[in-house]
Amino acid sequence: MHVSVSTSNPLFHKTRLCSEERVQDVEAPFYSAINVEKKKHASLEDYSERNSFFPQLSLAIGRFISLGYISQLNHYELVNAISMVVPTMVSFALCYGNPSRNNKFSAAVSLATLIHLPFSFAYHWYMAVPHFEENWALLYHRLDSAFIHAVSSLYAYGISQNIYYALLTVPFNLFPIILLWRSESRDPNTKLMTVSVALYLLPYVLWERALLSFLLVSFSFWITLRIWEKRIFGLYYHSMMHVMMGIPQALIVLSTLDLIPRPFFRWGHSFFGVHAD
Put simply, whether the predicted model's pTM sits higher than 0.85 gets the answer no
pLDDT tens, residue by residue, 84-133: 999 999 999 999 999 999 999 999 999 999 999 999 999 999 998 887 88
Q: How far from chain centre, in Å, is Cα 210?
A: 30
Inter-residue contact 146 to 177 (CB < 8 Å): yes
First to last CA, the chain: 62
pLDDT tens, residue by residue, 73-83: 788 899 999 99
Task: Give the domain ranges of the chain.
Answer: 10-70, 75-256
Kindly report the number of other CB atoms within 10 A of residue 32's CB atom: 12
Closest CA to 58 of 73, 70, 71, 43: 43
Interacting residues of 209 by C-beta distance below 8 A, sequence separation 6+: 262, 264, 265, 266, 267
Lowest mean pLDDT among 7-11, 15-19, 210-214: 15-19
> How much of the chain exceeds pLDDT 90, in percent?
52
- Residue with the bigger pLDDT between 251 and 263: it is 251
Helix (H, G, I), strand (E, B) or coil at 85: helix
Decide if pLDDT at 277 tops 50.
no
Which region holds residue 273: left if phi is over 0, alpha if psi is between -120 and 50, else beta? left
